[in-house]
Structure 1
């Protein structure tokens, strides 16, 4: 039975092809993702095709709602990877013998190398995978960036091994992330992606501009297996989020590693946007609009009980029509138990999070105060000329940054509220939004009606 009460913005996946639409209907293929725009009549909805942008009516019985991925520690891009087990253990795991049944293990004899174990004609063959110059190889003819890449190749080509890899032997307790992504409609087709120029180097890999089925996209490419696995957390979080001020995930592609495909934000990150344009181009009303955009995105995360943990202007992207959207959910956690202090952005992190690893929406509010300072200083580095050690000590001792030049007093008082030492005394994001809307009304009275309706003042 099709669900009959989808709200506008709901994403759906087509269950079958619809190639011969009537005049008012939308054409689509099985697996295409469509966004509900409005209710139609008698089980029909008005929908937009996520890739082509076309709009038309769809029959609700032909689509299913696109599910978010469940957060599951067992989800793995490499369910066939068994870690450090011996050869005899691998042979036991590949019983009963079946041609093309395989697993990968860490080599005990040669630390740093791997072993591909494959069942053929009732026997198990062990292929040593050498790791040299950041590449993997079984022979000297075929080189791979990572294990995902290697398994993908030998699942389609016999190459120098005895048989094509047909069936992964999953490690106990793991589930194939590829299968889950495919079932929920988040796995995209590599043949429909055209990569363009490099638009950034992240800590984990390159970011490219590209086209996916006619839509301009950004593609974050992660070649390291371990990092790809870590980014599964970010991807899982992003499948749950739908808001105009959060960068939208379109899906992922598994090919020679992991590609995370999102909407393209043509004007880059907010820090660079502000630094390269400055006061003569970007006026106070626009700065407030950016502050409100980010606040609305964070209010939505707050409503989902999600903590961002790395809110900063570098992690806010600006769209073609100058809408600011929060991105980089790499550190986002549903709870705050896990932490890695080494990676924490000290100048943006609340004192209780630095000292006691206590993360909450209220520690995000502290970071938002620093982001406000970045916005109204046109992208300056916070705590100018201070070392990280000094920042930690001084902030704990009660030091707070001065207001940036020409910052409206009302906005600076908001920053100070965000930097209350006691987390519970900091305002929630919905309160911050209300205060910012009042500020916007003071600066530009005609803007008041436009706020919250998507109007860009």
Structure 2
């Protein structure tokens, strides 16, 4: 597959010196920073300019993206294990005294544009060269490849896979200033003193979720302690900063304290999760209109995400919250990714994930459509666990063989038809959320004429 050309403005670093053999060439030395002007018809060459503004053609084999140009570099700079431009000796001092699995990542001093994973055993520190390939992948051993450093670190946390030991404990870099700088630009940083924490209202992968009062209003506050991974916090917050819709839980701000504690502040959804609400109210309280409204609210949110090219990847009733007025809003953006930056994950919600995502890690808006079909089943079964009595390991094979969940008791046939359209094995044959919204509105009109 052909490599996608780097776009105009991409900053690159020279990994080898280039003297040039033509007046059209742009000579440079190892370590020089160049800016891409345009790709050429020959994929082996770019037109670029140097720091002095001189322009010319340069060989792609001699350059690679600067750290500052790598996708999600702002998120990388907030990773607690990334220490930027430090030397080998400084890294060894930071990892002293040696401790098995203690690690950090730094920019490579010998290979500009690359990285070094510094990993401690019980008696010394090993330095692994992380090479940045011309296809933008990263690798240590030329056997396993990663889209970015965050993905690489997560892989080696799970398995040593050729390293001297598995990554266990990061050497934490003080990230408070970086967090402040990153979120200040968007006006998201809040003062901890303005918040009065009241009680715990939930727990998640970050830790506790607290009810708090902020300038006379109730808000929800997710807390991340410094001894936990920061990347899920940053991933969720960076997504919420880019999105705004009436059916998405609203981000209100971020708090970064001097001790490294981080908080996400969101609107408070008084009625809790849709899943709990369905289970606690049930058929005796909730009407067909209520169920229809929940389904439409979530679909409205997904139409918006679809229009913004975002894939949620964890759409389920547990991740939908209800306001005081029973407006359903999609939350939990920890797995949400821009379509152009999707990557593998080890935290797939199996019973909500499409077959192609389970099997091949192919995520798209159409995989969200599959999940939405499961969420509809949750709504119309009043919060039952999908695929009841089916073990997780059996879900994928059953789906491949054509099994689909039966219609929930009392569910209109028209709604069940929509679920089955969402569960088409071929992603391209599933409807878009825009079309799903039209189908739901039509069903709602038909059902109301029968009341």
The two structures have a TM-score, normalised by structure 1, of 0.63
Among residues 406, 414, 421, which one is paired with 1:410 in the alignment? 414
Give 1:187's aligned residue: 189
Deviation at residue 294 of structure 1 after TM alignment? 0.2
Query: Gaps (5+ residues) in structure 2?
Result: 1-69, 105-170
DSSP 3-state at the match of 1:435: helix
DSSP 3-state at the match of 1:210: strand
Identify if the C-alpha distance between structure 1 residues 418 and 151 changes in structure 2 by more than 3 Å, giving closer, same or farther. Answer: closer
Distance in 1 (CA, whole Å) between partners of 2:285 and 2:179 is 46
Q: Does the 8 A contact of 1:336 with 1:360 survive in 2?
A: no
Among residues 269, 279, 296, which one is paired with 1:292 in the alignment? 296
Q: Does the 8 A contact of 1:250 with 1:261 survive in 2?
A: yes
Deviation at residue 184 of structure 1 after TM alignment? 1.6
Identify if the C-alpha distance between structure 1 residues 306 and 230 changes in structure 2 by more than 3 Å, giving closer, same or farther. Answer: same
Distance in 2 (CA, whole Å) between partners of 1:360 and 1:269 is 25
Deviation at residue 109 of structure 1 after TM alignment? 2.7
Deviation at residue 401 of structure 1 after TM alignment? 0.6
Q: Does the 8 A contact of 2:79 with 2:230 survive in 1?
A: no
Distance in 2 (CA, whole Å) between partners of 1:338 and 1:107 is 36
Give 1:321's aligned residue: 325
DSSP 3-state at the match of 2:277: helix
Distance in 2 (CA, whole Å) between partners of 1:73 and 1:83 is 11
Structure showing greater relative contact order (alpha-carbon pairs closer than 8 Å, 6 or more residues apart): 1
Distance in 1 (CA, whole Å) between partners of 2:332 and 2:362 is 20
Deviation at residue 280 of structure 1 after TM alignment? 0.5
Q: Does the 8 A contact of 1:250 with 1:263 survive in 2?
A: yes
Distance in 2 (CA, whole Å) between partners of 1:233 and 1:80 is 16
Give 1:162's aligned residue: none
The answer to whether 1:428 aligns with 2:432 is yes
Give 1:10's aligned residue: none
Identify if the C-alpha distance between structure 1 residues 217 and 422 changes in structure 2 by more than 3 Å, giving closer, same or farther. Answer: same
Distance in 2 (CA, whole Å) between partners of 1:351 and 1:293 is 25
Give 1:105's aligned residue: 94
Query: Gaps (5+ residues) in structure 1?
Result: 1-69, 92-103, 116-145, 153-167, 169-175, 448-457
Identify if the C-alpha distance between structure 1 residues 113 and 394 changes in structure 2 by more than 3 Å, giving closer, same or farther. Answer: closer
Among residues 306, 309, 315, which one is paired with 1:305 in the alignment? 309
Distance in 2 (CA, whole Å) between partners of 1:334 and 1:77 is 19
Distance in 2 (CA, whole Å) between partners of 1:202 and 1:80 is 22
Give 1:241's aligned residue: 243
Among residues 194, 197, 200, which one is paired with 2:199 in the alignment? 197
What is the aligned-residue RMSD (CA, Å)? 2.9
Deviation at residue 83 of structure 1 after TM alignment? 7.8
Distance in 1 (CA, whole Å) between partners of 2:329 and 2:274 is 9
Q: Does the 8 A contact of 1:341 with 1:354 survive in 2?
A: no
Identify if the C-alpha distance between structure 1 residues 272 and 336 changes in structure 2 by more than 3 Å, giving closer, same or farther. Answer: farther
* Number of residue pairs aligned between Structure 1 and Structure 2: 314
Identify if the C-alpha distance between structure 1 residues 389 and 430 changes in structure 2 by more than 3 Å, giving closer, same or farther. Answer: same
